[in-house]
Amino acid sequence: MYFGRYDKENVALRVVSLEGEPALAAYVAGATAPSYFILLEWAGGRVVSIRDFRYVPYIAAEAAFE
């Protein structure tokens, strides 16, 4: 259900390493830099937590990611 919201938006999600942890970088409308990040926490092969920083854009502006 959560990711179904992104299906309706013009956003591309790419897997990146953010401070050594896997994350999703969200590129809005063909942007060359991510607009925000989504952190996923895993346990037992399942996602147990989603931290979406969509409304905290300064994090993407200052983040070091690969």
Asked if 52 and 41 count as a contact pair (C-beta separation under 8 A), the reply is no
pLDDT for the residue numbered 16: 92
Structural domain including 19 reads: 4-62
Q: Per-residue pLDDT tens for 1-25?
A: 666 676 677 888 899 998 888 899 9
Q: How far apart are CA 60 and CA 1, in angstroms?
A: 24
pLDDT for the residue numbered 2: 64
Q: Per-residue pLDDT tens for 34-52?
A: 999 999 888 999 989 989 8
pLDDT for the residue numbered 6: 66
Total number of domains in the chain: 1
Q: Residue for token digits 């999600």?
A: 13
Query: pTM here?
Result: 0.78
